[in-house]
């Protein structure tokens, strides 16, 4: 029995070292650059191999040596701090902030760009006022660019007395920096909120990028949508005051929204079970329908078909003040 215990223990430690080696090599490859990154990752892999040899030969020096290297790497990783002060791409150069006086909110650094292509656009940053008492509901935009598995989620709040306010959680990239889902695991990017007019943030995806955009009207009441917007406001201001890392798995466009909705969900008509579709965001419509957040009296396939607004949106001018109303034509309301 004792021998079996030590074999099982060595197998578990082997898995731990392999996991640590994978994570550490990834960190070094994505956080360092050029030849230095490659050499450091190879060196760390050799140290992990020595640690494995130490486990299976009972050479404590080798195992302890890898442990010390790994602890040192953890220390370096912990020292990496996010920043608001970098050379950001223009569309993410400013973070929104929101002030509130009673039911009146003022959104500063609201983005209202006019996109012709991703490289050709007019920059507009505005300050707009909204009335929380006029919130009528909330809608979810999902945009797809590479298959059905992953989509980008944006929440748009509708008002009885103004155009919608759309909020998006994005990777805050620097000029010349490319996006990598793998790099997003290793503190490579900061997180950004974008508060925008739909003609900007939806138009970027429908007109400039020509993505497959889908719009789902949520079943939240005006009061529930207002509560969610208030939760957004608090987090927007927290981020404006203190930078935060983006993480491909834990801090992204769906998981942050999931936690924000969870903070106000006790007053909603549906619960929020944790589900793989929260991470595999392309499948969110099925999850939303299951929990009652979108229409359940319409088959999902039909709901998705009617949610596809991309082709219709591209027939509209982004200067059209009725853009938001027109892209909702034919999209089922959130409640029967």
pLDDT tens by residue, 48-69: 999 999 988 888 899 899 999 9
**In contact, 110 and 197? CB cutoff 8 Å:** yes
Please indicate, yes or no, whether residues 68 and 95 belong to a single structural domain of this protein.
no
Percent of the chain residues topping a pLDDT of 70? 97
Residue 332 lies in a domain: no
Encode 70-117 in three state secondary structure: HHHHHHHHHHCCCCCCCCECHHHCCCCEEEEECCEEEEEEEECCEECC
More confident residue, 276 or 264: 276
pLDDT digit string, tens, across residues 153-183: 999 999 999 999 999 999 999 999 999 999 9
Average pLDDT over residues 66-90: 96
Q: Give the per-residue pLDDT at 146.
A: 87
Please indicate, yes or no, whether residues 133 and 66 belong to a single structural domain of this protein.
no
Please indicate, yes or no, whether residues 233 and 109 belong to a single structural domain of this protein.
yes
Please indicate, yes or no, whether residues 189 and 59 belong to a single structural domain of this protein.
no
User: What are the φ/ψ torsions at residue 27 (nearest 5 degrees)?
Assistant: -60, -45
Residue 264 lies in a domain: yes
pLDDT digit string, tens, across residues 106-123: 999 999 999 999 999 999
Residue 85 lies in a domain: no
Q: Give the per-residue pLDDT at 264.
A: 77
Please indicate, yes or no, whether residues 166 and 69 belong to a single structural domain of this protein.
no
**In contact, 281 and 147? CB cutoff 8 Å:** no
Residue 87 has pLDDT above 70, yes or no: yes
Residue 313 lies in a domain: yes
Please indicate, yes or no, whether residues 75 and 94 belong to a single structural domain of this protein.
no
- β-strand partners of 196: 111, 166
Please indicate, yes or no, whether residues 241 and 139 belong to a single structural domain of this protein.
yes
Residue 336 lies in a domain: no
Residue 84 lies in a domain: no
pLDDT digit string, tens, across residues 5-48: 778 888 998 999 999 999 999 999 999 989 999 999 999 999 99
pLDDT digit string, tens, across residues 135-154: 999 999 999 998 899 999 99
User: What are the φ/ψ torsions at residue 181 (nearest 5 degrees)?
Assistant: -60, -35
Q: Based on the structure, what is the number of domains in the chain?
A: 2
**In contact, 154 and 197? CB cutoff 8 Å:** no
**What domain range is 63 assigned to?**
2-79
Mean pLDDT check: name the lowest of 190-204, 205-219, 245-259: 245-259
Q: Give the per-residue pLDDT at 88.
A: 98
Residue 336 has pLDDT above 80, yes or no: no
Q: Give the per-residue pLDDT at 334.
A: 83
Residue 1 has pLDDT above 80, yes or no: no
Average pLDDT over residues 197-214: 97
Nearest alpha carbon to residue 207 among 117, 89, 83, 321: 117
| Integer Cα distance of 284 and 217 in angstroms | 13
Please indicate, yes or no, whether residues 40 and 101 belong to a single structural domain of this protein.
no
Please indicate, yes or no, whether residues 13 and 72 belong to a single structural domain of this protein.
yes
Please indicate, yes or no, whether residues 193 and 297 belong to a single structural domain of this protein.
yes
Average pLDDT over residues 295-306: 95
Please indicate, yes or no, whether residues 289 and 157 belong to a single structural domain of this protein.
yes
Residue 151 lies in a domain: yes
Residue 267 has pLDDT above 80, yes or no: no
Buried b (16+ CB within 10 A) or exposed e, 285-316: bebbbebebbbeeeeeeebbebbbbbebbeeb
Q: Of 79, 101, 124, which marks where a domain is finished?
A: 79
- Taken as a whole, the chain contains a residue count of 336
Percent of the chain residues topping a pLDDT of 90? 81
Please indicate, yes or no, whether residues 187 and 269 belong to a single structural domain of this protein.
yes
């Amino acid at each position: 029995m004792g021998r079996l215990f030590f074999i099982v223990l060595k197998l578990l430690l082997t898995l731990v070292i392999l996991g640590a080696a994978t994570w550490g090599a990834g960190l070094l490859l994505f956080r360092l650059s050029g030849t230095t990154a490659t050499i450091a990752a190879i060196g760390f892999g050799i140290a992990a191999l020595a640690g494995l040899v130490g486990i299976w030969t009972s050479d404590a020096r080798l195992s302890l040596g890898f442990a010390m290297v790994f602890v040192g790497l953890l220390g370096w990783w912990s020292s990496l701090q996010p920043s608001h002060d970098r050379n950001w791409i223009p569309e993410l150069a400013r973070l929104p902030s929101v002030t509130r006086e009673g039911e009146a909110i003022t959104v500063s650094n609201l983005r209202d760009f006019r996109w012709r292509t991703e490289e050709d656009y007019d920059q507009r940053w505005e300050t707009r006022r909204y009335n929380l008492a006029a919130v009528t509901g909330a809608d979810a935009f999902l945009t797809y660019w590479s298959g059905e598995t992953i989509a980008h989620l944006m929440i748009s709040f509708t008002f009885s007395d103004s155009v919608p306010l759309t909020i998006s959680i994005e990777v805050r990239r620097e000029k010349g920096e490319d996006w990598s889902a793998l790099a997003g695991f290793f503190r490579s990017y900061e997180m950004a909120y974008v508060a925008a007019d739909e003609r900007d943030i939806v138009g970027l995806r429908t007109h400039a990028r020509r993505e497959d955009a889908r719009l789902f009207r949520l079943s939240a009441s005006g009061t529930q949508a207002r509560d969610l917007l208030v939760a957004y406001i608090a987090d927007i201001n927290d981020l404006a005051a203190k930078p935060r890392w983006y993480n491909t798995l834990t801090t992204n466009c769906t998981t942050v929204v999931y936690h924000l909705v969870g903070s106000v969900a006790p007053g909603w008509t549906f619960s929020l079970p944790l589900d793989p579709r929260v991470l595999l965001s392309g499948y969110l419509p099925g999850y939303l329908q299951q929990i009652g957040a979108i229409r359940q009296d319409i088959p999902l396939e039909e709901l998705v078909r009617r949610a596809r607004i991309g082709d219709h949106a591209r027939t509209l001018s982004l200067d059209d003040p009725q853009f938001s109303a027109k892209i909702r034509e034919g999209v089922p309301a959130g409640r029967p």
